[in-house]
């Protein structure tokens, strides 16, 4: 069966031509899905009954169902366990700041990147999420919380390892005739798949790019992130420079602070040598301890000290505000706990 919610109007027109539906039906269906947010053909009551019956046989909208909600008592953060049609489980997060609401979405069921500190990858990759599921993931969160202003693709999975579906997803979610989310309000986070960063730069997707750097030294990085064995930090930085040149978007580097491991003075110097003078931003993230990675959460004082040392070396760094501390299961942990 063909997914329909990941197609734009002209693509639906082409599909409908084969079925000899009138051209205007495509616009109606697209509008029903992306504006009226109807995710079953039965509910599209502006279509003839017979057509609705036929559509059900030929087309589908992958469903994403709410399984469980974890609400923070400290702020408005909510974490969700979501179930896909084949019973696979993913996670998403809703965060509300003063002037914007952001959702963090998963892009794959599991992950094959193998970063030692990350819970999402512990059981490997099960499968890619489809573009249809990615769209429904967003629409479900909007059904639950109202319209959101930003999307970060930083949940379970490596988005650039699921390039085609992510591309389709971003094209549809930014379609001016549908959800019309601005490209600027989408951030994609990658562990550093160098060829795909070039590929992304050459698309029209024009999203913000965040790169999980975490270590400014190849040997150290490779110990924790297998992808670093494939692409050197030099290659990675060349790719992000290219991304900036092509899109004009300042790249941000995520840096999970693991106390006494990657916040040493040598790390400050390595980061300086790598990034000084570049129009980039460093996002310091306190490690969220997971069972399989025996390191503690860094103290706020250690984070502050590291940040100040970076500032003194002329690097632009901020500490990411942790939301939903009391439900602090880091990404992938809820899913793992559920499976257990």
Q: Catalytic site residue 137? A: no
The residue with tokens 């693991």 is: 258
Here's the x/- map for ligand SAH, 290-309, by CB under 6 A: it reads as: x-------------------
The CA distance from 253 to 250, in Å, is: 10
The CA distance from 175 to 203, in Å, is: 15
Instruction: Work out whether 240 is an interface residue with ligand SAH (CB under 6 A).
Output: no
In this structure, are residues 310 and 57 in contact, taking their beta carbons and an 8 Å threshold? no
Instruction: Work out whether 212 is an interface residue with ligand SAH (CB under 6 A).
Output: yes
Catalytic residue among 68, 83, 91, 137: 91
| Count helices and strands in the chain by DSSP H and E runs | 12, 14
Measure CA 273 to chain center.
Answer: 29
The CA distance from 199 to 205, in Å, is: 10
Binding segment (CB under 6 A) for ligand SAH, from list 141-149, 198-206, 267-275, 286-294: 286-294
Instruction: Work out whether 154 is an interface residue with ligand SAH (CB under 6 A).
Output: yes
Instruction: Work out whether 280 is an interface residue with ligand SAH (CB under 6 A).
Output: no
CA-only gyration radius of the chain, Å:
21
Which DSSP symbol is given to 101? E
Tokens representing 49 are 């009954």
Instruction: Work out whether 287 is an interface residue with ligand SAH (CB under 6 A).
Output: yes
Q: Count Cα neighbours of 113 within 13 Å in the Cβ-side half-sphere.
A: 29
Helix%, strand%, coil% for the chain, nearest 5: 40, 20, 40
Least gap, CB of 117 to ligand SAH (angstroms): 5
Residues 74-133 that bind ligand SAH (CB under 6 A): 113, 115, 117-118
Q: Catalytic site residue 171? A: no
Least gap, CB of 105 to ligand SAH (angstroms): 10
Instruction: Work out whether 187 is an interface residue with ligand SAH (CB under 6 A).
Output: no
**Considering only residues 256, 282, 317, 323, which one is a binding residue for ligand SAH as defined by CB under 6 A?**
256
Query: Closer CB to ligand SAH, residue 137 or residue 158?
Result: 158
Binding segment (CB under 6 A) for ligand SAH, from list 172-180, 235-243, 284-292, 299-307: 284-292
Least gap, CB of 23 to ligand SAH (angstroms): 40
Alpha helices in the chain (DSSP H): 9-18, 24-34, 49-58, 131-145, 163-173, 194-201, 218-224, 227-230, 233-247, 265-275, 300-312, 333-339
Cα–Cα distances in Å, from 25 out to 11, 19, 30?
12, 11, 9
Instruction: Work out whether 200 is an interface residue with ligand SAH (CB under 6 A).
Output: no
Query: Closer CB to ligand SAH, residue 28 or residue 336?
Result: 336
Instruction: Work out whether 336 is an interface residue with ligand SAH (CB under 6 A).
Output: no
115 labelled as ligand-binding?
A: yes
Q: Is 100 helix (H, G, I), strand (E, B) or coil?
A: coil
Instruction: Work out whether 191 is an interface residue with ligand SAH (CB under 6 A).
Output: yes
301 labelled as ligand-binding?
A: no
212 labelled as ligand-binding?
A: yes
Give the residue numbers marked as catalytic.
91, 331
What is the contact surface with ligand SAH in residues (CB under 6 A)? 113, 115, 117-118, 154, 158, 189-191, 212, 254, 256, 285, 287-288, 290, 330-331
Known binding site for S-adenosyl-L-methionine: residues? 157-158, 189, 212-214, 288
Known binding site for [4Fe-4S] cluster: residues? 111, 115, 118
């Amino acid at each position: 069966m063909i997914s329909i919610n990941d197609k734009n109007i002209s693509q639906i027109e082409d599909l409908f031509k084969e079925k000899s539906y009138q051209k205007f039906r495509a616009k109606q269906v697209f509008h029903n899905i992306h504006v009226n947010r109807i995710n079953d053909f039965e509910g599209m009551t502006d279509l003839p009954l017979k057509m609705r019956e036929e559509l059900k046989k030929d087309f589908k909208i992958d469903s994403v169902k709410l399984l469980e909600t974890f609400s923070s008592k400290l702020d408005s953060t909510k974490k969700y366990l979501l179930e896909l049609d084949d019973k696979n489980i993913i996670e998403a997060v809703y965060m509300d700041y003063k002037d914007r609401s952001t959702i963090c979405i998963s892009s794959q069921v599991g992950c094959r990147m193998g970063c030692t500190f990350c819970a999402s990858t512990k059981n490997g990759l099960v499968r890619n999420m489809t573009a249809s599921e990615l769209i429904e993931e967003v629409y479900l969160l909007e059904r639950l919380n109202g319209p959101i202003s930003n999307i970060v693709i930083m949940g379970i999975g490596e988005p650039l390892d699921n390039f085609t579906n992510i591309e389709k997803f971003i094209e549809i979610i930014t379609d001016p005739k549908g959800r019309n989310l601005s490209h600027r309000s989408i951030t994609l986070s990658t562990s550093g798949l160098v060829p795909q960063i070039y590929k992304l730069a050459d698309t029209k997707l024009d999203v913000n790019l965040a790169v999980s750097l975490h270590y400014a030294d190849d040997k150290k990085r490779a110990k924790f992130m297998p992808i670093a064995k494939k692409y050197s930090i030099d290659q990675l930085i060349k790719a992000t420079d290219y991304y900036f040149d092509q899109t004009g978007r300042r790249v941000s580097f995520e840096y999970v602070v693991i106390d006494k491991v990657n916040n040493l003075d040598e790390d400050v110097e390595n980061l300086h040598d790598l990034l000084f003078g570049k129009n980039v931003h460093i996002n310091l993230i306190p490690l969220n301890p997971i069972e399989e990675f025996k390191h503690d959460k860094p103290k706020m004082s250690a984070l502050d000290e590291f940040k100040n040392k970076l500032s003194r070396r002329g690097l632009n760094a901020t500490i990411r505000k942790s939301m939903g501390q009391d439900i602090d299961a880091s990404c992938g942990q809820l899913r793992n706990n559920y499976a257990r």
